[in-house]
A and B are shown apart, each in its own frame.
Chain A
Amino acid sequence: MSSIIKIKNLTFSYSAEEERKTLDNVNLEIEAGQWVALIGHNGSGKSTLARCIDGLLMPESGSIEVDGLHLTEETVWDVRERIGMVFQNPDNQFVGADVEGDVAFGMENRGIPRSEMQKRVKEVLEAVDMTAFAKHEPVRLSGGQKQRVAIAGVLAVRPKIIIFDESTSMLDPEGKRDIVGLMRRLNDEENFTIISITHDIDEASLADRVIVLNDGRVIDDDVPEKIFASGDLLTKIGLDLPYPEALKEELKEKGIDVPNEYLDEEGMVDWLCRSALKN
């Protein structure tokens, strides 16, 4: 597989006086079709990294290549054609007056003819299961529904990469499950490259690959099973463990033998049932 995003020696800081860089010499390659989770505590630079990739922030030094395009002031709009972003606050990214109008916003910006817009709005609303809400104003939608609309707006302009910048952090558990399910489907079925920036370790554990950022540096980069098996590192930089791992730790403290390898929720249930039967 080929890399769709190549980041070389990326350095960024918000103000010149500050000694500590927000991003410090980051090197990354992300393959097309992968689901990558970026985790790290507040201020670790994960949102900044996403904003640099989309050209919303210009790096101090280093280079970014998206889908073969070198990101510069000239190519920034072409790069944005290829990347869709879903932000954290469902309210503050809803531009249109109603669902349809918001989904169409990105297409209007690209000068897509109206007949095509109508067709695509219908398609993408169906894809995110919001067809019944086409004429609703944002006040009449829940947070999860607003995020689904935001995703529809991204899908309508047909990018290759979708970046979720803590898109589930302001949602209730149900909305969260909903959006994570949609992310999985987009990655599995539609083959979008997905970068999800998250605090939610359970969400990250679903990804193909987890990148751990701390103080602007990549400190770990592996499949989730390996990342979460090395529990101390995560707790040391102020992150939680995924629920099954946390449970394992608790069991270990009680003197119960637990398997060393990483188990997801299902695996954990399985193991618990089997071990309960044994006793």
Chain B
Amino acid sequence: MNKLLLGRYVNGDSLVHRMDARSKLVLSFYFVAIIFLCNNWQTYLLLTAFVLMCVKFSDLGIGFFIKGVKPLLGLIVFTVLLQVFFTRGGHVYWSFGPLSLTHFGIVNGFYVFCRFVLIIFMSTLLTLTTAPLEISDAIESLLKPLKAIKVPVYEISLMLSIALRFVPTLMDETEKIMNAQRSRGVNFSEGTLMQRIKAVIPLLIPLFVSSFNRAEELATAMEARGYRGGEGRTKYRVQVWTKIDTIAVILFAIVTILLFILRKF
């Protein structure tokens, strides 16, 4: 179960790994925005080449990225089929009632497929090369301006990082409680939907109780260690903007300009 949530990050020392989490986060979102500039095969080809180049820079096998696409395959196929059968225009190859297979439909379906896969590749690149904690630090740093309107940015980020830190601990705990309940005859994997939902209750109650106990103890420990809110705290982990980040930003700018040029073809 641990693998599911946190095992995404793959330790490494590639150019992408060494980038500042803030620039990775912002550029990933930026990528999602510029992909909507694509309107012809030249632009898609450019972005595909660009994404493959980023993947290359991460020193990670393409297999990791394909694995990232798999869970979303159903959604992709569904969306692509909608596009293919409901877009009209151009030469009609086949039609049946409201469904029709047209030239535009096929082209559009292909574009949607590309768009999905490229976005997934890019976001997988972010999660594979950035530890969850770095992402939470990056969010804190990016939200800092909101402090001016009294958003407790520091507290939000501490909550996020403690939550991340406790995920594996609570996973272990869940496993233990499940085993304890199984040994008392609870069956989690069989029965009707209703029965299964009911089986979760003896799992959730002890988990809640123990989480509250943990929270209380953690709060006491934090207080004993001098925690009194975000004011006046210094930070041990810092994020540094390096040359790699500047280069990445320039690359994205060049890609954007090229996209605008290629769009006109």
Complex-state Cα separation, A97 to B134, whole angstroms: 10
Q: Nearest chain B CB to A160's CB is how many angstroms away? A: 15
Chain B 27-42 residues near chain A, CB threshold 8 A? none
Q: Is the CB of A106 within 8 A of B225?
A: yes
Q: Is the CB of A85 within 8 A of B235?
A: no
Number of residue pairs A-B, CB distance < 8 angstroms: 94
Complex-state Cα separation, A77 to B226, whole angstroms: 7
Q: Is the CB of A153 within 8 A of B224?
A: no
Contacts of B2 in A (CB 8 A): 139
Chain B 225-257 residues near chain A, CB threshold 8 A? 225-228, 232-238
Answer whether residue B169 sits at the interface, using C-beta atoms and an 8 A cutoff: yes
Q: Is the CB of B221 within 8 A of A92?
A: yes
Q: Is the CB of A157 within 8 A of B217?
A: no
Answer whether residue B14 sits at the interface, using C-beta atoms and an 8 A cutoff: no
Contacts of B177 in A (CB 8 A): none
Contacts of A101 in B (CB 8 A): 133, 236-237
B219 nearest in chain A by CB position: A92
Please indicate which of the listed interface residues B227, B234, B238 has the most CB atoms of chain A within 10 Å of its own CB: B234
A163 nearest in chain B by CB position: B224
Please indicate which of the listed interface residues A98, A100, A110, A121 has the most CB atoms of chain B within 10 Å of its own CB: A110
Contacts of B225 in A (CB 8 A): 84-85, 95, 105-106, 109, 153-154, 157
Chain A 99-129 residues near chain B, CB threshold 8 A? 100-101, 104-114, 117-118, 121
The interface on chain A, measured as residues whose beta carbon lies within 8 A of the other chain's beta carbons, has a size of 41
Given known contacts A87-B217, A93-B218, A107 and B227 CB-to-CB distance under 8 angstroms: no
Contacts of A81 in B (CB 8 A): 226
Complex-state Cα separation, A80 to B228, whole angstroms: 12
Complex-state Cα separation, A133 to B213, whole angstroms: 28
Given known contacts A100-B236, A109-B233, A92 and B165 CB-to-CB distance under 8 angstroms: no
Contacts of B220 in A (CB 8 A): 51, 56, 87
Main secondary structure of the interface of B (DSSP, over half): helix
Complex-state Cα separation, A118 to B217, whole angstroms: 27
Chain B 174-215 residues near chain A, CB threshold 8 A? 213-214
Complex-state Cα separation, A111 to B235, whole angstroms: 8
Please indicate which of the listed interface residues B224, B227, B234 has the most CB atoms of chain A within 10 Å of its own CB: B224
Q: Is the CB of B224 within 8 A of A92?
A: no
- The answer, among A84, A87, A112, for a CB contact under 8 Å with B234, is A112
Answer whether residue B164 sits at the interface, using C-beta atoms and an 8 A cutoff: yes
Please indicate which of the listed interface residues B133, B221, B237 has the most CB atoms of chain A within 10 Å of its own CB: B221
Complex-state Cα separation, A56 to B238, whole angstroms: 31
Complex-state Cα separation, A92 to B215, whole angstroms: 8
Pick the 10 closest A-B CB pairs, nearest first. Answer: A104-B236, A93-B221, A92-B217, A109-B226, A106-B225, A139-B168, A85-B224, A97-B133, A111-B232, A97-B165
| Partner-B contacts on A (CB < 8 A) | 51, 54, 56, 77, 80-81, 83-85, 87, 89, 91-98, 100-101, 104-114, 117-118, 121, 137-139, 153-154, 157
